[in-house]
Amino acid sequence: MSVEFAKVLIEPAYRKVAAAIGARILSRALREGERLPAETELARQFGVNRSTVREALRELESRGLLQRRRGSKLMSVSRPRQESVAQGVSHALLLHDVTVRHLWEALTILEPPLCAAAARARTSADLECIAAAAAAFAAQRDDTEQAVHHTAEVFRCIGRATHNPVLGLAQEPLLRLLEPSLRVMIDQVPQARARIATAHRRLLEALAARDEDGAHGWMARHIRDFRRGYEIAGIDLGRRVTAA
């Protein structure tokens, strides 16, 4: 019986260079803000053409690991911006045919315990951020676009109040999908805005009192209200979420 082996994957040289530099960055051997050597020097060290190094640097720049500072010809180590990471994940979710039901279930799992964590860790500045977003929502009586945006901002401010970057990164892709999903429902349910405003007020009270149970409970109720709004509006929960 003959034995067959899979073909060996031969990677382009620029990807090997990108992987080597990327490994140094992710291990923190290269720190944020540190400059890389010039392309000619990197080409000498890796034993490749300068064009190969240039392509590797472009790939790392597109991933947010490198950036070229203004006035400098050298690449510097950077951190991927949260907005870019979230946008990539939200696009991937859209391409995986995420529905309103999927989004609601994910928010149900993530947001109530996140809100409880915010009740423990929040600062006075965090409360001001949440209160400002809630007030901005309440002021938008006719502008649906802005009302939806400020609703998501309340969630974002609560996420930041946890002072846990992992939770913020987990939350943001969902909020980018929540905005367009909420937009199709909010004006079809007469009581939607009033119920959202009430939830904002009660959440702020619980967070101000550092009431973890109250924060968890009101956020869970707030998320349940979203689903109830879709049902009242007659929107199929199996409807695919659209891009903002």
241: CB partners within 8 A, 6+ apart: 93, 94, 98, 99, 100, 102, 103, 177, 180, 181
What phi and psi values does residue 37 have, to the nearest 5 degrees? -65, 170
pLDDT for 109 equals: 97
Residue span(s) of the chain under CATH 1.20.120.530 come to 82-232
- Residue 116, SS3 per DSSP: helix
May I ask the CATH class of domain 13-77? mainly alpha
CATH fold group of domain 82-232: Four Helix Bundle (Hemerythrin (Met), subunit A) (1.20.120)
Give the span between the Cα atoms of 207 and 234, in whole angstroms: 33
> CA angle at residue 36 from 34 to 40, to 5 degrees?
165
Spans in the chain with pLDDT lower than 50: none
34: CB partners within 8 A, 6+ apart: 76, 77
Q: Per the structure block, which two tokens stand in for 63?
A: 């991933």
pTM of the model as a whole: 0.80
Give the span between the Cα atoms of 53 and 30, in whole angstroms: 17
Residue span(s) of the chain under CATH 1.10.10.10 come to 13-77
